[in-house]
Amino acid sequence: MKKLIIGAFASIIFSSAFAQKSKTEKLPDRKHMKLETEYTTASGLKYMFKQFGKGAEAKVGSNVSVHYIGRLADGKTFDSSRDRNQPITFKLGEGRVIKGWDEGIALMHVGDRAVLTIPPSIGYGSAAQGPIPANSTLFFDVELMGISEPVKPWTLVKHDTISLPSGLKYIVVEKSKDPNSPKAEKGKIVNVHYTGFLKDGKIFDSSVDRGEPISFPLGQGQVIKGWDEGIALMQVGDKMRLVIPYNLAYGDQGVKDVIPPYSTLIFDVELVGIK
Catalytic positions are: 194, 204-205, 224, 250, 267
Q: What is the 3-state secondary structure (H, E, C) of the chain?
A: CHHHHHHHHHHHHHHHHHHHHHHCCCCCCHHHCCCCCEEECCCCCEEEEEECCCCCECCCCCEEEEEEEEECCCCCEEEEHHHHCCCEEEECCCCCCCHHHHHHHCCCECCCEEEEEECHHHCCCCCCECCECCCCCEEEEEEEEEEECCCCCCCCCCCCEEECCCCCEEEEEECCCCCCCCECCCCCEEEEEEEEECCCCCEEEEHHHHCCCEEEECCCCCCCHHHHHHHCCCECCCEEEEEECHHHCCCCCCECCCECCCCCEEEEEEEEEEC
Q: Whose CA is closest to 162, among 85, 260, 65, 233?
A: 233
Q: Whose CA is closest to 78, among 30, 130, 149?
A: 130
Can you give the length of the chain in residues?
Answer: 275
Handedness of CA 211, 217, 222, 224 (dihedral sign): positive
